[in-house]
Amino acid sequence: MGRPTTNPKELSTRIRLSHEDVDMLESCSKKLGVTKAEVIRKGIKMVYDNLQKL
């Protein structure tokens, strides 16, 4: 089956996180029922949207 062909995720990046950051990320992921990658994407969009309001 694999990933859908619409909106492909072709790029990747690496980040360094503290144990506290990982705990928060995992908690958000579980509570929202989405992947950790999706939590990060939502966070990026939230910051971007807030900056557009300035």
Q: Could you read off the pLDDT of 15-44 as tens digits, one per residue?
A: 999 999 999 999 999 999 999 999 999 999
34 within a domain of the structure (yes/no): yes
Q: How many residues does the chain have?
A: 54
Residue 49 pLDDT exceeds 80: yes
Look at residue 37 and tell me if it is in a domain: yes
Q: Does any domain span residue 45?
A: yes
Question: Which has more pLDDT, 42 or 3?
Answer: 42
Answer whether residue 1 shows pLDDT above 70: no
Read off the pLDDT band of 7 (50, 70, 90). confident
Give the number of domains in the chain: 1
The domain of 43 spans 28-54
Does some domain include residue 23? no
Residue 53 counted as domain residue? yes
- b/e per residue 33-47 (b: at least 16 CB within 10 A): eeeeeebeeeeeeee
* pLDDT at residue 2 greater than cutoff 90: no
